[in-house]
């Protein structure tokens, strides 16, 4: 996983409107919120630069008419809180000179990290991360050991910032996947895990059990999704523990209601919706830039280059042009709210999930110009419609005065007072208002507090944003109760979640579900 930049400016939250959840509530909109941010400066004032290794091209606002097609230009900024800083891509950082050199054990020396199979030799303790099992399964990177001269010192590579070698790997069957999403399930075999060294008997046994559980769960997903008429209740139940990554491009459209449950209707529906989106784009940009709503377009021009700073995928001009079209078409279709800062980030999980269906490499490292144009257009259209579905239930978070956010933050204040009275009393004593930090949490569905990978896992299961935010705050209760006003605000704006994995997200969701079960049907306890 690429290094995650510091938390940045505020963003958005969402209401699943019953699509991600088997629980439905009549007043769900109270539980969701969104942030308009404060980044209103002109693009000419934003001095963001290309990384040293970027190709020469446009790195500012888009061309007058954002058209589909390949482009090699790129741009990036690194946003921190409300200040926009300059920083190269994390993968461009050189290895640290003071890193310890490779340790020799019985004539064996760690040379480098690669994607080949693990050797059958004991690993040097100096290179163990403490997350060995997870690392092997997550990224497939292995250690190559060689019989080296003990007198020769070898400088180890910096695996955290080393670009993937297969960043341009495209599947051979992309045309089939565009026309029939189920082709993805029928043709892609389950992930094959690499063998462990023979000396790791206990670890190997634990991994074998975990893999067996994952394999069984994946098989249940496949059986559910490939039914002639998908059982939505069953799919939501399976999604509670997370959707296998290779099945998300099929499961998410079904959960959101974008793709119909009856299998015979899916291909024709996708083709129709994609063509409808293309017609909307053609109509919106028919008169070039002069025909655009200048106020909306101006803000989109500012926000798009700031999306996912430091991530290669979002530095490519082709990705930025797609995002511009998605945001502008959505805005003109929703005149009551228009475009609000932060919606750009909510589109990124969808784009990356749908992109992953067509490639065999990390979406965040991928160059979208390598894709055929019709495939990139399909990814863009699917992202647009799923984003629209996500935002359908929270329209009052975007209109004037943002009443949805006001209600959600008020209810969160009352809920935390019931869940953790000492914390609520301490925040009140320090004059910390929930609006000072919870506004951003409601806005971006915690996307500025956790990584996109964590966000994607959370969206598999998302049920109750109000309760997730409350559980998220209470998680830091002990530390917060030892801080003063300034310490609390600074801590909540830069939470230590960089190392979070699916385990932490699942624990957070479980805690939120407990609060939901306890308090959701006890509304008389809220309010004064």
Q: What is the reported pLDDT for 67?
A: 47
Residue linked to tokens 């695996």: 159
For the stretch 62-111, pLDDT in tens is 444 444 444 443 333 333 333 333 333 333 334 444 444 444 444 444 43
Query: pLDDT tens string for the chain (528 positions)?
Result: 454 454 444 333 344 444 444 444 444 333 333 333 334 443 444 344 444 444 444 434 444 444 444 444 333 333 333 333 333 333 333 444 444 444 444 444 443 444 443 333 333 433 333 333 333 333 444 433 333 333 333 344 433 333 344 446 899 899 999 998 888 887 655 444 444 454 555 567 777 777 777 788 899 999 999 999 999 999 999 998 899 999 999 999 999 999 999 999 999 999 999 999 999 999 999 988 889 999 999 999 999 999 998 899 999 999 999 999 999 999 999 988 889 888 898 999 999 999 999 999 999 999 999 999 999 999 999 999 999 999 887 777 777 788 888 899 999 999 999 999 999 999 999 999 999 999 888 878 888 899 999 999 999 987 678 999 999 999 999 999 999 999 999 999 999 999 999 999 999 999 999 998 888 877 665 554
Q: What share of the chain is helix, strand, coil (3-state, %, to 5)?
A: 50, 5, 45
pLDDT in tens, 146-192: 333 333 333 444 333 333 444 468 998 999 999 988 888 876 554 44
Secondary structure element (H or E) that encloses residue 302, with its range: helix 294-303
* Alpha-carbon span 261 to 263, nearest angstrom: 6
Alpha helices in 117-247 (DSSP H): 132-139, 174-179, 183-187, 201-225, 232-239
DSSP state of 39: -
Interatomic CA distance for residues 271 and 159, integer angstroms: 41
Token pair belonging to 22: 């088997």
Q: What is the CA radius of gyration of the chain?
A: 24
How much is the pLDDT for 377? 97
Kindly report the number of other CB atoms within 10 A of residue 210's CB atom.
Answer: 13
Distance, CA of 191 to CA of 360 (rounded, Å): 11
Q: Do residues 493 and 80 touch, judged by C-beta distance below 8 A?
A: no
**Rounded Cα–Cα distance for residues 405 and 469 (Å):** 13
The pLDDT assigned to 482 comes to 96
Q: Measured between alpha carbons, how far is 211 from 169 in angstroms, rounded to an integer?
A: 25
Task: Give, for 109, the enclosing helix (H) or strand (E).
Answer: strand 108-114
- Residue 523 has what pLDDT? 66
Domains of the chain: 207-397 (no CATH), 403-525 (1.10.472.80)
Is residue 27 exposed (0-12), middle (13-18) or buried (19+ Cβ within 10 Å)? exposed
pLDDT score of 131:
39
CA distance 76 to 81: 16
CA nearest 322: which of 286, 296, 285? 285
Which of helix, strand or coil describes residue 42?
coil
Please list, in sequence order, all residues whose beta carbon lies within 8 angstroms of the beta carbon of residue 385, skipping any fewer than 6 positions away: 258, 273, 277
Q: Residue 510 is encoded by which pair of tokens?
A: 């479980």
pLDDT number for residue 104: 42
Which pTM was predicted?
0.67
Q: How many CB atoms sit inside 10 A of residue 220's CB? A: 14
In residues, how long is the chain?
528
Query: Nearest CA to 485 among 439, 437, 427?
Result: 427
């Amino acid at each position: 996983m690429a290094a995650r930049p510091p938390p940045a400016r505020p963003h958005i939250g969402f209401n699943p409107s019953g699509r991600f959840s088997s629980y439905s509530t009549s007043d769900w909109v109270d539980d969701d919120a969104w942030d308009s941010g404060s980044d209103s400066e002109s693009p000419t004032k934003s001095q963001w630069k290309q990384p040293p290794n970027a190709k020469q091209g446009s790195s500012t606002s888009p061309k007058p008419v954002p058209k589909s097609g390949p482009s090699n230009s790129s741009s990036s900024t690194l946003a921190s809180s409300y200040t926009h800083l300059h920083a190269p891509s994390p993968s461009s950082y050189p290895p640290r000179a003071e890193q310890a050199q490779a340790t020799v054990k019985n004539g064996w020396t760690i040379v480098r990290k690669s994607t080949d199979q693990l050797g059958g030799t004991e690993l040097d303790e100096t290179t163990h991360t403490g997350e060995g099992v997870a690392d092997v399964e997550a990224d497939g990177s292995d250690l190559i050991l060689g019989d080296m001269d003990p007198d020769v010192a070898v400088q180890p590579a910096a695996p955290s910032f080393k670009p993937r070698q297969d960043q341009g790997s495209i599947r051979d069957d992309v045309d089939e996947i565009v026309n029939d999403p189920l082709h993805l399930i029928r043709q892609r075999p389950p992930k094959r895990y690499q063998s462990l060294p023979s000396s790791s008997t206990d670890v190997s046994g634990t991994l074998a059990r975990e893999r067996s559980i994952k394999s069984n769960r994946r098989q249940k997903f496949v059986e559910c999704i490939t039914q002639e008429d998908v059982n939505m209740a069953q799919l939501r139940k399976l999604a509670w523990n997370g959707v296998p990554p290779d099945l998300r491009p099929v499961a998410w459209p079904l959960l959101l209601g974008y793709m119909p449950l009856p299998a015979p209707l899916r291909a024709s529906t996708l083709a129709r919706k994609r063509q409808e989106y293309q017609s909307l784009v053609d109509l919106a940009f028919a008169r070039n830039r002069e025909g655009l709503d200048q106020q909306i377009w101006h803000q989109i021009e500012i926000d798009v280059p700031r999306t996912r700073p430091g991530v290669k995928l979002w530095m490519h001009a082709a990705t930025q042009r797609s995002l511009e079209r998605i945001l502008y078409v959505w805005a003109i279709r929703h005149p009551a709210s228009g475009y609000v800062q932060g919606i750009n980030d909510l589109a990124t999980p969808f784009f990356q999930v749908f992109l992953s269906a067509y490639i065999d490499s990390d979406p965040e490292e991928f160059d979208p110009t390598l894709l055929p144009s019709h495939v990139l257009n399909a990814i863009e259209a699917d992202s647009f419609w799923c984003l629209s579905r996500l935002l359908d239930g929270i329209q009052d978070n975007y209109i004037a005065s943002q009443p949805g956010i006001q209600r959600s933050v008020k209810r969160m204040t009352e809920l935390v007072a019931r869940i953790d009275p000492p914390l609520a009393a301490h925040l009140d004593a320090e004059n910390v208002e929930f609006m000072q930090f919870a506004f951003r949490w409601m806005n971006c569905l915690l996307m500025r507090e956790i990584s996109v990978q964590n966000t994607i896992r959370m969206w598999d299961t998302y049920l109750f944003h109000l309760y997730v935010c409350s559980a998220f705050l209470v998680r830091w209760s002990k530390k917060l109760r030892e801080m003063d006003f300034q310490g609390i605000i600074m801590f909540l704006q830069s939470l230590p979640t960089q190392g979070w994995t699916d385990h932490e997200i699942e624990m957070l969701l479980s805690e939120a579900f407990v609060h939901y079960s306890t308090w959701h049907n006890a509304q008389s306890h809220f309010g004064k």
